[in-house]
């Protein structure tokens, strides 16, 4: 089995509805996003997928989440934009873009010391 990963960064604001701490107020993060792809087969030249292609796909996907208030996006008007829900959103939607490749998990860092992993 092979696993490969690529990372990207975005800067976004959000606030947490129903939360009684500082994060109930509008604030921002420099989010780091890692996607991990899993596959047991290689293509004819010995790759799961070209890193350059996967990086480009991830960057294009994350464009809509960069330099915005996440709460203003349709998905996050209904779902609280916690790190957990951001990771799930990326997993579900980016996974569709890269199909038939298998997205193993998504990891989202909201700071250097705080991250969440989502997988199914």
Domains in the chain: ranges and CATH: 2-118 (3.30.479.10)
Contact 23, 89 (CB under 8 A): no
Q: Which ranges constitute the DSSP H helices of 1-120? A: 51-62, 74-78, 83-98
**Known catalytic membership, residue 60:** no
Q: Could you give the percent of the chain with pLDDT greater than 70?
A: 100
Quickly state the pLDDT bin for 79 (edges 50, 70, 90): very high
CB count within 10 Å of CB 106 equals 23
Q: 3-state DSSP helix/strand/coil percent for the chain, to nearest 5?
A: 35, 35, 30
Residue 113 to residue 120: CA distance in whole angstroms: 24
**Known catalytic membership, residue 23:** yes
Of 3, 60, 67, 96, the active-site residue reads 67
Of 23, 27, 60, 96, the active-site residue reads 23
Q: What's the confidence (pLDDT) of residue 11?
A: 98
Residues whose CB is less than 8 angstroms from the CB of residue 34 and which lie 6 or more positions away in sequence, other chains included: 5, 6, 7, 106, 107, 108
Question: What's the rounded mean pLDDT across residues 91-119?
Answer: 96
Quickly state the pLDDT bin for 20 (edges 50, 70, 90): very high
Of 14, 29, 34, 110, the active-site residue reads 110
**Known catalytic membership, residue 110:** yes
Question: What's the rounded mean pLDDT across residues 68-94?
Answer: 98
- The dihedral through the CA atoms of 43, 45, 46, 51 has a sign that is negative
């Amino acid at each position: 089995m092979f696993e490969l990963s690529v990372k990207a960064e975005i800067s976004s604001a959000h606030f947490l509805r129903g939360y009684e701490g500082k994060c109930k107020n509008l604030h921002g993060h420099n989010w780091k996003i890692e996607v991990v792809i899993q596959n047991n087969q290689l293509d004819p030249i010995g790759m799961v997928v070209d890193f350059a292609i996967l990086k480009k796909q991830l960057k294009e996907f994350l464009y809509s989440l960069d330099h915005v208030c996440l709460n203003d996006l349709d998905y996050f008007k209904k779902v609280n934009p916690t790190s957990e829900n951001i990771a799930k959103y990326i997993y579900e939607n980016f996974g569709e873009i890269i199909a038939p490749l298998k997205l193993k998990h998504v990891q989202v860092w909201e700071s250097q010391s705080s991250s969440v992993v989502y997988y199914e």
